[in-house]
Amino acid sequence: MKKNILKKVFTIVITIALLFYYVPEECYADSQIDSINKQEYIISSKNNIKSMKLKKISSCDDMFEGSLSKNEVQKLKKEGAVVEKDIQLRASGKERKLNKDKNKVKEIWNYLMINVDQGIEVSNSAKKIKIAVLDSGIDRGNTIPKGYHNITDEDTAPWYFEDMTGHGTSVSGIIQNIVPNAEIYSVKVLDSENKTQLSKVVEGIYWCIENDIKVINMSFGTLQYSKILEQAVDDAYKAGIIMVASAGNKDEQGIDYPAAFEKVISVGAVDSQGEKTEESSKGKGLDIMAPGKQVVSDGLYGTNIVVGGTSIATPHVTGAVALILQKNVEVSPNFVKELLLQSAKKIGDKNCTGSGLLDVEYALANYEEFVNKYEETTIDNDVGLLSENDTPIKTAETDLVEGSWKDHYVLFDDAIAGKYNGTQQDLQKIKLGSVMPDKILSLKEGMFPTFHGRNNYIANTIALTRLAVKGNSCTVNSISSDPTEVSNAKGMICYLRTLAPEQWREGGVPGTPSEADKKLYYYGMAIHVATDAVAHHSFGWQDNAWRHAQHTGSYGWADNPEKFRYRYDYSKHIAYRIVRAYVAGNQASYKTFVPDDTALRNTMLNSVIFKMENITRNAKRVNSSVVSDNEAMTFFNKYNYNYTHNYGSSSK
C-alpha cells in the first residue's frame, strides 16, 4: 500500500513539473514570461549590481556577464549601465551549417536544391513569423513548438508527445530547418490514422485567424470540393494569412483541396533529380514544386527519418514564405505567392510542374526589384515582373530509403527462387503485398512505422499473418505481454480493415480486392515488416564497434545487401518461411526468425558480424515458453543486441 501511495505521489510531482516546464508562453503571466525568457548579456557598469547575481569578468572591475530578463535589462540601462547581447563571433568566411561532404549531401540535398541554407543563422532582430502546422501534432524533440491546439477528439497525454503518426513532426522539422526562429504552432487536426473531418479543418483555419497566425501549412487534402472550406480559405486570405497546401499524391486524378483553391499555394513534389515524382498530382491549379522524395526530417522522440510525398514538399514552400515575410510581414498573400512563382525555375510542362521548382535564394535576391514592380491588382498577376530563372538545378545522387530494402520485389524473388511450386498467381499477390507498405502513402515509414520493422517486429509479423489466417475474426490481445506492443498490433489490424479502394489501388491492386486476396497481401506485408527489421533495425560489427544500420555517414549500410552478406541471406530466409506459412495455412511465430536451414544457421552462428535489435526480448514477449526452446534461444542470444540508443559499443 505504501509503495502505491509513493508511486502516485511521484507521478503527480513529475506531471506538475513537466507542465510547468512545457506550458506554452501564452499561458504564463507577464512576470513569468520575463523570468523564463532570460538571455545572455554582457554589462558595463560602475554601480554595484551584485544583487543580480552576475559573474564579474576576470580582471575587469566594471564588466559583468550573465542571464537577464527584459525588466532587468531596462533597470540597468536606467541606472546608466551599458547592456549588450552576448553575440557570437566567428572567422570571416562563408560556410553552410552542415558540411557538404558526399554523405552529408545525401541528407540535405533537398535544401541545396532549393538554394537555402539548412539551419541558417538569423539575427536577433529578424521577425519571428507565426506559422501554424495543421497536421497530426508535433512531438517535442528536434522542433519545440511555440504552442499547441488540439481540435481532434483524441486525448493526447502528455500533450507534448501528441503526434501518433510522425507526420506533423516531420513537416514541422523541415520548416524549422529553413526558418530556425519561426514560431511554430501545432494545430492538431489529423487523428492517429492521419485522418480528419472537414469541420475540424475549418475550425483550425478560424483558430489561426483569431490567433494572428501569418502562415498555415496544410499537408493533407481531398478531391471533393467544399464551399464551406473555400469560405474559410477566403476569410483567412482576407485576414492576410498565407496558406500553403500539398497538391496530393494522386497523379492524373487532379489537385487536392484546399490546395486547388486559387488563394492557396499548391505544392507538388520532385525527386533529387528535379523530376516530378510518379505519384505527385498534376493538373489545373498546381503552383510550384519542391523536394518530396527521400527527404530526411524529424522523426518521433527527437530521431531522424526518411520521408516523402507532397506532404513533405509543402513545408519547404512554407519555410520560403516565412523568409520572405521576415523582410516585410505586411506584404499581401498574393505578393508572396507571385514572388515565389515568378522566381521558380522552369522544369517542365505547367500542367505537371506548375510554375517550376522553388528557388529561395532567387526569390530573396530579387525581392526589392519585385517590390518596385508589383501592383496589387488581381489574384493572378499574369505580367512577368522578374527575369526568367534559368540557373541550373542542383541535383544529387541519393540512396536514402523510405523504410525498406531497396527492392522488396528482388528480395522476394531471391527468397523463393527454386523453392516454390505452388500457384504463381497467389505468389504474385504475396509479392505485391511485400511492397505495399512502401507504395500506399498512409502506410509509409513516416506515417506508420510499425509496418517497417519498428517496435516488436516479431509481434507485428505474427499479427499480420494471423490476420491473413483468421480474417475478420482476428484478434491480437495475446500478441505480446507488453500492452504497448498489443496496442501497436491492434493499430495495424484496425487500419488494414478500413483501407479504402483508392488506397488498395495506390498499392497496385487493379480494383477492390476480395477477402481471399487480402489475406495474400497480408502475408506479403508481414514479409515487409520482418525483412525491414533486418534491414533497418540491426547492428553490424565495423571498425571495432557495433554500428546501427541507420547510422549515417560511412556506416549508412541499412539497405545494402552486400554489407554483411549473411544479413541479407537471413532476411531472404525469413521471407521464404513466411511463404511456407502461407502454404501451410499457418501464422508466423518466433520460430520464423530462427533459420531452420541448418547450413545457414551454423554459418551464422560461427560468424556473428551483425545482430538484431532486442530479438531475445521480442521473442520472450510474444511467447514466454521460448526460454525452453534451446535451439531458438541459442540463436537469439547470439544475435541479440540490447538497444540502448548508443550507436557504438567497444566490445564484441
Query: Which residues carry out catalysis?
Result: 135, 167, 311
Paired strand residues for 267: 246, 288
CB 108 within 8 A of CB 118: yes
Residue 573, φ and ψ in degrees, nearest 5:
-65, -40
CB 366 within 8 A of CB 343: yes
CB 432 within 8 A of CB 524: yes
- Run of H or E residues at 85: strand 82-85
CB 433 within 8 A of CB 504: no
Q: Which of 210, 208, 195 is nearest to 243 (CA)?
A: 208
* Cα angle 63, 54, 21; round to 5: 140
The C-alpha cell 526569390 sits at 363
CB 399 within 8 A of CB 109: no
Q: How many angstroms separate the CA atoms of 176 and 319, rounded?
A: 7
CB 639 within 8 A of CB 608: yes
Q: How many angstroms separate the CA atoms of 609 and 599, rounded?
A: 17
**What is the SS3 assignment for 87?**
coil
Q: How many angstroms separate the CA atoms of 136 and 189, rounded?
A: 6
> Grid coordinates standing for 451?
509496418
Taking residue 571's Cβ as centre, other Cβ atoms within 10 Å add up to 23
